[in-house]
Structure 1
Amino acid sequence: MHTVFPSLSELTDERFLADFRSMSTHGATPAGGVHREAGTPADMANRHWFHGLLEGYGARVVYDEIGNQFGLWEIYPGRPYVLVGSHLDSQPFGGRFDGAYGVLSGAHACARVAAERYETSEGSTHDAGAAEGTPAGSAEVPLNVAVVNWFNEEGSRFKPSMMGSSVFTGKASAEDMLAVCDAAGVSVREALRAMELPTDPPADLPTIHSYAEIHIEQGKDMDAQGITIGVVDKTWGARKYEVAVHGFQSHTGSSLLEDRHDALYGAALIVTEMRRIGEKYTTADQPLVTSCGQLNVIPNSPVVVAQGAELLVDLRCGDEAVLQAADDEFRNALADIERRAAVDIELRDSHAWTEQAYTDAGVDLAEHVASSLNLTFVRTQTRAGHDSTNVKDVLPTVMLFVPSKDGISHNELEFTHDADMVAGLSMLTRTLSTMTSNPLDDEGQPRGVGA
C-alpha cells in the first residue's frame, strides 16, 4: 500500500480546533450542543466526514460488523496496533465534547505519531511504502497506531450502552446486538445498512495490543481544582435495570383510589425510593448515585389511569460493598411498592459492571507523561461508563480526563476550554507515542484482540 502521511508541521493545534468546530456542525443544536444519536442521519453524516478526515491524514478506514469505525496507520507492516478512541454519537440534545473530543484527539494523536516516525527516520520521507514501511535505524520495531469511533456508546436510541465496545471485547454477541430495535422498531442491523455499513465480520481487522482513551471529566472536581489532566485508576461499579410496572387501565374520574392499579403511581414510588436510597448510602467520602433517566407511560392519556409504565433506573458507586447493599435494598423495596400501588413489577433487563482498576503500568505511564509535559494532574475515578471500562478487561488500557466546566454533561451547555483540549491532545499524543515504543504489559504477557 502506498500511503502519504501529512507532515508534522501541518498537524497544528489550530488545525485540530478547526476540525473540532467542523465536526460539531453535524447534528448541531441552537444552544451549541449536538443531537446525534447512533445510527441517525446526523451520525451518518458525521461518520462520512470522519472517514474522509482519516483518509486525508493517511489512515486506512475499516469497519467491523457492529459499526465500529477504525482508522489504521500501518507504519510497520504486520505489527499490532495501539488503539485510541471514544464515540461520536450523543445523547438527545447533548454536548459536543462528550466522546467526540476523544475520537478527534485520538485521530490527531495518531497522525502526529505517524508523521513523527517518518520525519525522524533516515531520509525523512512521508511515504509509508518507503523502506518497506520501517524507518531506517530502528533498533526495535514499535507498534502501529489506530483510532476507533465506537458504535452506540450512549445507548439512548439502542440499548444497551457501550454496544460497539461490548461486541469488540466479546462481552456481547454481534448477532444479538444487531437484532436490538429502537422505540420505532428499527433494528441496529437496519440502521447500519441505512448508513451503508457492513454487518458481516471483517476480514482485515488487525491485532490490537493496547488501548488509550481521553474524555471530558463529566464532573466538576478537576475544573474546581484547576487540574489539567485526570489519570483514571479505577471505574465505579454500576447496576442498571429496565423496569416494567403492570397495572390496570381505568377512568381517572370514576375509579376510586382504593380500586386503582395505577402503574404510574408505582413508577413514581420507584423514583422516590431510588432517591431515598441514594441519600441514605451517600457519605462525604463515598457518594452513591441513583437515577431514573427514562419513563414511558401507557397509554399516556390525561383521563386514563395508566395500565403500564416502563422506566430505566441505575445505581453507581465506587465501593462495591455499598453498591451491593443499595442494590439489595432497591430489590427488596419493590415488593412493598407492588403492595402499595396494587401493581406487578418486572425487572426485564439488567446491565452491570463492577468497580475495577485500570492497568497499573498505564497509570504510572500517564503520570510520567503528564510530569514530562509540566501538566498538572490528579488520580481520579470515573463515575460514568466509558468504552474503556469494557476494553480494560481484555487489553492494557490508559484512561485520561480533561476538565469539564462546572461538571455539566449530557447537556447542550457542556463546555471544555480550547487550552484544556489542546493540553489533552498533547498528553494523548505523548502517551500514545510511549505506548508504541514501550508496549504496556500489565501481566507479564502480551495480549491482543483481533485477527
Structure 2
Amino acid sequence: MTPEQFLSDFHEVAQIGATPNQGVDRQAATPEDRLTREWFRAFAERRGWEVRVDGIGNQFAIVDFHPDAAGDTPCVLLGSHLDSQPLGGRFDGAYGVIAGLHAAARLEDRVRSGDARPAVNLAVVNWFNEEGGRFAPSIMGSSVFAGLMDEAEMLAVRDLAGVSVREALEAIGYLGTDARPTVASYAEVHIEQGRILERESTQLGAVDYSWYTQKLDIEVLGEQSHTGATAMADRHDALVAASQVILKVHDVTARYEAEALVSSVGQLTLEPNSPIVVARRVHLVADLRAADQAIVADARATLLEQIDAIARERDVKINVRDFDVRDNQHYPESGIRLAEEVAAELGVSARRIRTMAGHDSVAMNRIAPTVMMFVPSVDGVSHCEREFTRDEDLVTGVAVLTEIGWRLLQGALEPSGVAGVGGAAAGAGAAR
C-alpha cells in the first residue's frame, strides 16, 4: 500500500467524530468510537484478516501466515488506540493504529510475493480506553491484556453519568468474548506530544524510558448551605477548599528544578452544583509526573501535609487516595537499537527520547519485547484540537514501523524471560 493510500485513510478516519476546529471527539465506547471500530473491522475484512474482540473491548486484526497450524501461533503485534480525549486531536493514538494496519498490509504483501514466511503471525490492535477521558484509569485495555488490571473491576468502572464500561461496550456492540492472541513482540508509533523532535529537526524518536506517574484521587467534603442566607463564618465550603488544593498541586512544581516535575488537576466535579448552594462535595484528580520517582514521592508528601492544613483551616474533611501509580518503564536496549538501525538504513534522522505521557506500550513492555517510537508534533501540542503532525512525518513513521515489523517477524527481539508473553487472562493481576 502506498503512502498516498495511508494518508487518505488517515484523513478519512479523522472525519469520524470531527470537531469544528479540526480535532476529534471519540471518547471510549461512544457511538463515534464504534464508527472507528467499524472502519478498523472493514479494513481488516477487505484483506481477509480475522477480527477478534476480547472481554475488555480490545480489537485485533490477525494476519495468519500459518492457517493450518494447531493452536494459537504467537503474533508480532502493532497498534495503538482509536479513542480520543473530549475535543482531542486527530493524531493521538489513531495514527498508530492506522500506521499499524498499513504496515501489516505491506508486510503481508511482502510475504505473499515470495519472501520467507515468518515463524509467527502478525496482528494489529486497537486498544480500548487508552485515554481514560470517559473511564478512569487510562491505558485500560492494554493493562487488562497484560494482567496489570483486573478485567471484572475495569468492566465495573463508571463514567460521570453512571454508565459502566460493561454497559457502554454492550451498547456499541463491542463487549467481546474472543480469545486474546499470544504476543511475541510489540511495536507502536505515536506522535511525540512534546517539542523535542521538532525543535531539533529530528524525524524519529526511539523511546528509551517512561516517566514515573502518581495520581491522587481527592474528595473534599463540606456542608451544603444557602449562598445568600448562611453567614460566612458558618460555611464549610468544599469548593473553596478544593480551589486551594488545586493551587497547591500547581505550585508544588516550583520546589524542584524547572520541568523536573509536571502537575495538574484535569478533572473536577462538585455537588450539588447549584448557583445558590454552597458546595458540599468536590471530587478532583491530581496528576504528578517526573523522571525521578523520588521527586514524585517528595511532592506527594508535601501535598498531603498542605491538604491536611487546608482541611483544618476550612473546617472540612479531605480524603486522599493514591490512584493509577505507574513506575518508570525502561524499554529493551535491543529494541531501541533496532529502531536506530532501521532509521539509519532508511535515511531517517533519529535520537533517543523519553516519554512523559503514558502509552499502551508501557503496559505491553511488561510482558513482551517492545519498541516505542515517536514522530514530531508541531509546537508540542496534544490533547487538543490544535494537535498537528505533518503528512511527511506520518509517512516516515509508517515506513520505519513497517521495516521494524519485518525484523520482528524474523525474530529480531526474542522474548527474554519475560513472564506472561501470551495475552493475559482476565484477573491475572491488579493495578497499582
Shorter-chain TM-score above 0.5: yes
1:30, CA displacement in angstroms?
A: 0.9
Paired with 1:66 and 1:356, the residues of 2 have a C-alpha distance of: 24
Give the aligned residue type for 1:25.
Q
**Structure 2 residue 159 is the aligned partner of structure 1 residue 170:** no
Contact 1:236–1:316, Cα closer than 8 Å, also in 2: yes
**Structure 2 residue 94 is the aligned partner of structure 1 residue 81:** no
1:348, CA displacement in angstroms?
A: 4.4
Q: Which residue of 2 aligns with 1:116?
A: 110
**Structure 2 residue 263 is the aligned partner of structure 1 residue 290:** yes
User: Counterparts of 1:395-414 in structure 2 under 5 Å?
Assistant: 395-414=368-387
Contact 2:329–2:365, Cα closer than 8 Å, also in 1: no
User: Counterparts of 1:8-407 in structure 2 under 5 Å?
Assistant: 11-77=1-67, 78=69, 79-121=73-115, 135=116, 141-200=118-177, 202=178, 204-281=179-256, 283-284=257-258, 287-348=260-321, 350-407=323-380
Give aligned-pair identity as a percent.
46
1:241, CA displacement in angstroms?
A: 2.1
1:442, CA displacement in angstroms?
A: 6.0
Give the aligned residue type for 1:120.
G
Paired with 1:229 and 1:432, the residues of 2 have a C-alpha distance of: 16
Contact 1:232–1:380, Cα closer than 8 Å, also in 2: yes
Give the aligned residue type for 1:68.
N
Q: 1:146 to 1:199 in 2, by over 3 A?
A: closer
Paired with 2:322 and 2:159, the residues of 1 have a C-alpha distance of: 15
Q: 1:344 to 1:352 in 2, by over 3 A?
A: same
Please give the TM-score of this superposition, normalised by the length of structure 2.
0.94
1:253, CA displacement in angstroms?
A: 2.6
Paired with 1:312 and 1:260, the residues of 2 have a C-alpha distance of: 24
Please give the TM-score of this superposition, normalised by the length of structure 1.
0.90
Paired with 1:206 and 1:84, the residues of 2 have a C-alpha distance of: 12
Give the aligned residue type for 1:237.
Y
What is the DSSP-based 3-state SS (H/G/I as helix, E as strand, rest coil) of the residue aligned with 1:147? strand
Q: Deviations over 1:257-282 (max 9, x none)?
A: 3322110011111111011111222x
What is the DSSP-based 3-state SS (H/G/I as helix, E as strand, rest coil) of the residue aligned with 2:19? coil
1:444, CA displacement in angstroms?
A: 5.7
1:199, CA displacement in angstroms?
A: 4.2
Paired with 2:321 and 2:277, the residues of 1 have a C-alpha distance of: 25
CA RMSD of aligned residues (A): 1.6
1:334, CA displacement in angstroms?
A: 1.6
Paired with 2:198 and 2:85, the residues of 1 have a C-alpha distance of: 22
Contact 1:358–1:398, Cα closer than 8 Å, also in 2: yes
Q: Which residue of 1 aligns with 2:428?
A: none
Paired with 2:200 and 2:306, the residues of 1 have a C-alpha distance of: 39
1:197, CA displacement in angstroms?
A: 2.2
1:445, CA displacement in angstroms?
A: 6.9
Give the aligned residue type for 1:81.
C
Q: Which residue of 2 aligns with 1:425?
A: 398
Paired with 1:372 and 1:292, the residues of 2 have a C-alpha distance of: 43
Paired with 1:298 and 1:349, the residues of 2 have a C-alpha distance of: 22
Give the aligned residue type for 2:109.
A
Give the aligned residue type for 1:188.
V
Q: 1:23 to 1:254 in 2, by over 3 A?
A: same
What is the DSSP-based 3-state SS (H/G/I as helix, E as strand, rest coil) of the residue aligned with 1:334? helix
1:450, CA displacement in angstroms?
A: 3.0
Paired with 2:180 and 2:129, the residues of 1 have a C-alpha distance of: 19
Q: Which residue of 2 aligns with 1:435?
A: 408
What is the DSSP-based 3-state SS (H/G/I as helix, E as strand, rest coil) of the residue aligned with 1:389? helix
Paired with 1:76 and 1:426, the residues of 2 have a C-alpha distance of: 25
1:145, CA displacement in angstroms?
A: 1.1
Give the aligned residue type for 2:11.
R
What is the DSSP-based 3-state SS (H/G/I as helix, E as strand, rest coil) of the residue aligned with 2:358? coil
Contact 1:209–1:447, Cα closer than 8 Å, also in 2: no
Q: Deviations over 1:133-164 (max 9, x none)?
A: xx5xx6xx432211100001111111111110
1:198, CA displacement in angstroms?
A: 3.4
Paired with 2:418 and 2:167, the residues of 1 have a C-alpha distance of: 40
Give the aligned residue type for 1:177.
M
Paired with 1:245 and 1:251, the residues of 2 have a C-alpha distance of: 18
1:420, CA displacement in angstroms?
A: 0.1
5+ long unaligned stretches in structure 2 = 425-432
Q: 1:422 to 1:332 in 2, by over 3 A?
A: same
Paired with 1:116 and 1:446, the residues of 2 have a C-alpha distance of: 32
Aligned length: 420
Q: Deviations over 1:394-419 (max 9, x none)?
A: 11110000011001111011100000
Q: 1:390 to 1:340 in 2, by over 3 A?
A: same
